[in-house]
Amino acid sequence: MLTTLAVQNYRSLRDLVLPLSRLTVVTGANGTGKSNLYRALRLLADAAHSGAVAALAREGGLPSTSWAGPETVGRTVREGTAPPQGALRTKSVGLRLGFAGDEFGYALDLGMPVPERSAFIRDPEFKRECVWIGPVLRKGALLADRDGPVVRTRGTDGAWGREPHQIPVTDSMLTSFADPRISPEVLLVRERIRSWRFYGHFRTDADAPARQVRVGTRTPVLDHDGADLPAAVQTIEEIGDSEALHTAIDNAFPASRLSVRPGDDGRFELQFHQYGLLRPLSAAELSDGTLRYLLWVAALLSPRPPELLAMNEPETSLHPSLLPALAALIATAAEHTQVVVVTRARPLVEAVRAAADDANLVELERDFGATVLADQPGLLDRPAWHWPKR
């Protein structure tokens, strides 16, 4: 389980260290940086799929995603007697992402490339990358250490290997150096990150993939667009927690049930049996809110739970009456996987806290443009964290 998430210089996340628990609910007003936190977590996961550089490029590159404010906010600016203004930077520009957990920790530092004859002058480079054991980075806990193109690893005797390894500066060592013979810990960290799942905006318009009738195959993991919803529901019925599935439907829509009708051509059709109706409704007939709730049911009751499941604004298009049922569903999922919920809906926050006594509430706010923890404004109060130095 992850216990700490750290982000530095990503959009409004100038220097954020976030405590995590089995179930963490991140909330705050509009513009406080909730979406940035969700995107930063996704970007961290992209490093395990060789996609961090490409993901940054889609956002405009490192210059566009870096913290846009001054390096320091002086006393006169905070007092309102002087406007914020830029000054000569004393620190290197870099985007840093990392996490620590019960077993391992990982951090990366992306920076601008050394000027050379290349058209790809905005592609960031991996300046540092570290994997360590334990909750906090320290010299004696390092298992793998990457400095530019050079990677060092410890052997089974605890000593550093004699021969350093060379990898491209635009590739993460999680993908270029995950060799079970040389660095089994790096491979283990990579595979755990790759199991993370992210669900943000499910489409529910008339042409949404979830409304279409498709060929069904066993689906223990709902796709990000929900296109395989009927197959995912049927898979939960056959090899998952069918009781939890029925409870989730009944909590939201009393006396209703969900079924899947397989056709002779192999296509699966979702059928929603609602009390008082003479025939079941197909996915094409469901309201946006009903369909979205069913998508969350399939995502959260996956028979193959991930190491981490992140949800971005799951309350979108749901009626407030559905939020307690959604909260109970989230609490059920947190029994088998670590869950991070990013939401702006206070009713959902309260419903999750009522459904799960151990839910960790993290509220964000802005401090001169930077995202900070509302109840932890001082750096001394945040979880212990150390970045690898260049």
pLDDT of residue 226 exceeding 70, the answer is: yes
pLDDT tens, position by position, 63-110:
888 887 776 665 565 656 656 655 545 566 789 999 999 899 999 999
pLDDT tens, position by position, 31-63:
999 999 999 999 999 999 988 888 888 888 888
For residue 119, what pLDDT is reported?
75
Q: Give the dihedral of Cα atoms 294, 298, 300, 304; nearest 10 deg.
A: 180
pLDDT tens, position by position, 362-373:
999 998 889 999
> How much is the average pLDDT of 238-256?
96
Residue extents of the structural domains in the chain: 2-196+364-381, 205-288
Helices and strands (H and E) in the chain: how many: 11, 18
For residue 244, what pLDDT is reported?
96
pLDDT tens, position by position, 252-283:
999 999 999 998 899 999 999 998 899 999 99
Nearest CA to 47 among 136, 114, 109, 138?
109
The mean-pLDDT minimum among 72-76, 190-194, 215-219, 315-319 falls in: 72-76
pTM (two decimals): 0.91
User: Can you name the residues that pair with 340 across neighbouring β-strands?
Assistant: 24, 310
Q: What is the rounded distance in angstroms from the CA atom of residue 111 to the CA atom of residue 125?
A: 5
Q: What is the rounded distance in angstroms from the CA atom of residue 23 to the CA atom of residue 355?
A: 11
For residue 91, what pLDDT is reported?
64
For residue 377, what pLDDT is reported?
47
For residue 378, what pLDDT is reported?
47
For residue 380, what pLDDT is reported?
46
Q: What is the rounded distance in angstroms from the CA atom of residue 144 to the CA atom of residue 133?
A: 10
Average pLDDT of the chain to the nearest whole number? 90
For residue 53, what pLDDT is reported?
85
